Amino acid sequence: MNRKRSIALYRRALQLIPGGVNSPVRAFKAIGIPPLFIDRAKGSKIWDVDGNAYIDYVGSWGPMIMGHAHPKILTALKKTAPKGTSFGAPTSLEIELANEVRKAFPSMEMVRMVSSGTEAVMSAIRVARGYTGRDKILKFEGCYHGHGDSLLVKAGSGAATFGIPNSFGVPEDLARHTLTAPYNDLERVRILANQFPEQIACIIVEPIAGNMGAIPPGKGFLEGLRRICDERGIVLLFDEVITGFRVAYGGAQELYGIQADLTCLGKIIGGGLPVGAYGGMEKMMEKVAPVGGVYQAGTLSGNPMAMAAGIATLEILKTKKVYKDLEKKTVYLAERICESADERSVPVAVNQVTGMLTLFFTEGPVRDYATAKKSDTKRFARFFIEMMEQGIYLPPSQFEAWFISLAHTQKDLDKTIEACNTAFKKI
């Protein structure tokens, strides 16, 4: 495929933007080739600036659950835009979307709209600290919760080791308040809870990990976290920025029957526009300004364009058939990929939950960050390039989830499997 225009744009971008991109994973560094520059998208497909078409499994990293440029979302935007794109003042749309979110997530008795998932998580952690009067947080290795300072921490060795900064610019004095444990390891969580009694404000977790690849919770893991939090007076914070309205209408909380104290949402609730939200029990959310002393503000919070797109999105997703259709497509794709890899003796593990999957180049099983890191990233890079040459656009990292949309057709899925067959032969 000819990608001359993408390459030329990338070279120009390198002179103006750090790394030539506005978010690191877009740079294709793990693949070793220049990134694609996208011109347009429709349904399950995207087109780059050179006119090449691809079946898209990135979906703007999750929010395009109905596919790109859905007519009902475009109609909502066309209706809203002429009235003004931003006011920095309340609108009825904020109330309407907050009400729909609360009905889908009963644990979110009160909701605050923000402009991104990162902002939602940073704010929710501040609420947890303000509510409990404690400083420490506990997160899990490989779970990404945005680029807030407290969260850019990698695990130290041993259960009692404090985290150290995983990014320049994060003070060690701040990072020491972040404890880490392996995902799906309840025993490590218990050890930390015992070692730091009445010091941990919240346990934050992706209830289904999506940022070390798709990794579902092990049996009893989420239930165990709920018990530990109840016993220790710790706030249980679910980061459902990816899973909210994707794996079920009520997210992972509906899927597994576990309620969080605080929840963070993003991506889908804006129909693809920049948006996030956090919420939880009324007694916690009433700590947020202007009612309480936990300060958080945002000029573009509740942006009318994002609210209108979100309302249109959730109206479509209310139909139960939506998630049955999504699950059917996801299972079909996962099973056929495994069969293809087995036929060609390519060692892989495929994890899938409704609407998201990851193909790991390792024998598996993959249940945490340590096992995910056993993947053959060089082989993944070769696989990615082969798939792209055949018109399949995947997340450019071994440690990201693929996203299936309602717009993906059976023809799309079968073409993807054929491409996998060819790629497995070559890598």
| Catalytic one of 48, 56, 185, 239 | 239
| Catalytic one of 267, 323, 369, 393 | 267
Whether 321 is catalytic: no
Q: What number of CA atoms fall less than 13 Å from residue 173's CA on the CB side?
A: 0
What is the chain's Cα-based Rg? Answer: 21
Chain centre to alpha carbon of residue 130: 26
Position 277, amino acid: A
7's CB contacts (< 8 A; 6+ apart) are 34
For the chain, what is the total number of helices (H) and then of strands (E)? 14, 16
- Distances from the Cα of 271 to the Cαs of 3, 76, 184, 211, in angstroms? 29, 10, 31, 21
Q: Which long-range contacts (CB under 8 A, 24 or more apart) does 167-174 make?
A: 174/149, 174/150
Closest CA to 132 of 283, 339, 13, 2: 283
- Scanning 15-167, the segments in alpha helix (DSSP H) are 71-80, 92-104, 117-132
Q: What number of CA atoms fall less than 13 Å from residue 361's CA on the CB side?
A: 18
| Catalytic one of 10, 131, 144, 323 | 144
Q: What number of CA atoms fall less than 13 Å from residue 40's CA on the CB side?
A: 5
- Distances from the Cα of 291 to the Cαs of 113, 284, 285, 295, 345, in angstroms? 15, 11, 9, 10, 61
- Scanning 301-396, the segments in alpha helix (DSSP H) are 304-317, 321-343, 369-372, 377-389
Q: Which two tokens stand for residue 408?
A: 């993906």
Rounded CA-CA distance 402/400 in Å is 7
Whether 54 is catalytic: no
Rounded CA-CA distance 322/325 in Å is 5
Rounded CA-CA distance 248/254 in Å is 7
Rounded CA-CA distance 76/247 in Å is 24
Whether 332 is catalytic: no
The catalytic residues are 144, 239, 267
